[in-house]
Structure 1
């Protein structure tokens, strides 16, 4: 009869997620996981499978946190665009908590796609969930007169999704928060059709 597990599986997944996030999939050895998680190889294999299976579960947990934020962040009260901007700020702030490691999802896409089908399916689903959430919020913005008539909610959602993914890459090179804010300011000025909200010019990025 198998002995019951004596560890918190979710806590272990969180620690594995942070390790993969910092080091990347290929650079994380099984010995790194043993040391970080405080579990023997046999316990890791028994609970989570091999390194790839553990990585997929950790990535799924990370994306689940993002999905939960998007599912609960919007309501019918208050300006729709302001709510959307706040959500993007919160998503980016959560990723900044891991230093300059970037976004775990974006890093995984860059490292493992197009050859890893499981990671591709997780990433595709997460991006679809985000784009649909953005589009619904922009539809409300359109109904309330906040969205420029020159852009559709669907096009605006694609713009924001692409911008946020790109910001995550750029921040690994230039983590200046003023640049992140300026990029979002420009996007929301375009969405609202208010040129007065365009940010002032920033100094060139460091060479």
Structure 2
């Protein structure tokens, strides 16, 4: 007779996601995962197959949560400038219950060069973020908030690059005040006439 699961899959997946996010793929052992997720090793293998599959599912969970949070924050913004400020603030401070930095950026730096599945997922994640930035830029250009002297695609690429850099710096002891100044200067390009 098959045993029923004694855990909520999304709950334990969130725990795995945070551990991978904090420690990275290589540094996270199966023993770490079993302990942190609070499930038996056999249940982990039965549900997620292996460490790599679990990592990919945790990565998808990260993308789902982050994309949802970013979309909601942008939708709640009254102006394109507010939306862009929200993006920068979110990249610097994140959510209260998450590790610093970004699982997508961390995974790209650690694994993408040698793991095709991670490369595909990180490139897709970067594309999604850049697409969101472009939508905000176009909104701001249409409302006269942002410059039209630079194409929306080009602005989105530059701002995305700045956001990725900020996500890396948030993993260090760099003061948040410095990161906020970088964000302000990055946004300056949007106003340049």
TM-score, with structure 2 as normaliser: 0.91
Helix, strand or coil for the counterpart of 2:69? Answer: helix
Q: Find the aligned partners of 1:48 and 1:148 in 2 and give their Cα distance.
A: 48
Show CA shifts across 1:137-179 (max 9, x none).
1111111111123322111111111111111222333431111
Partner of 2:105: 106
Tell me if the contact between 1:95 and 1:103 (Cα under 8 Å) persists in the aligned partners: no
**Does 1:169 pair with 2:188?**
no
Q: Find the aligned partners of 1:82 and 1:22 in 2 and give their Cα distance.
A: 29
**Does 1:8 pair with 2:5?**
no
Q: Against the structure 1 CA distance between its residues 139 and 94, is the aligned structure 2 distance closer, same or farther, given a 3 Å change threshold?
A: same
Tell me if the contact between 1:13 and 1:58 (Cα under 8 Å) persists in the aligned partners: yes
**Does 1:185 pair with 2:184?**
yes
Partner of 1:17: 17
Q: Find the aligned partners of 1:104 and 1:54 in 2 and give their Cα distance.
A: 14
Matches within 5 A, 1:1-207: 1-75=1-75, 78-94=78-94, 98=98, 101-193=100-192
Q: Against the structure 1 CA distance between its residues 87 and 77, is the aligned structure 2 distance closer, same or farther, given a 3 Å change threshold?
A: closer
Helix, strand or coil for the counterpart of 2:4? Answer: coil
Report the Cα offset of residue 17 of structure 1: 1.0
Q: Find the aligned partners of 2:77 and 2:6 in 1 and give their Cα distance.
A: 45
| Structure 1: tracts of 5 or more residues without a match | 195-207
Report the Cα offset of residue 77 of structure 1: 6.8
TM-score, with structure 1 as normaliser: 0.85
Q: Find the aligned partners of 2:179 and 2:88 in 1 and give their Cα distance.
A: 11
Helix, strand or coil for the counterpart of 1:26? Answer: coil
Q: Which one has the largest radius of gyration?
A: 1
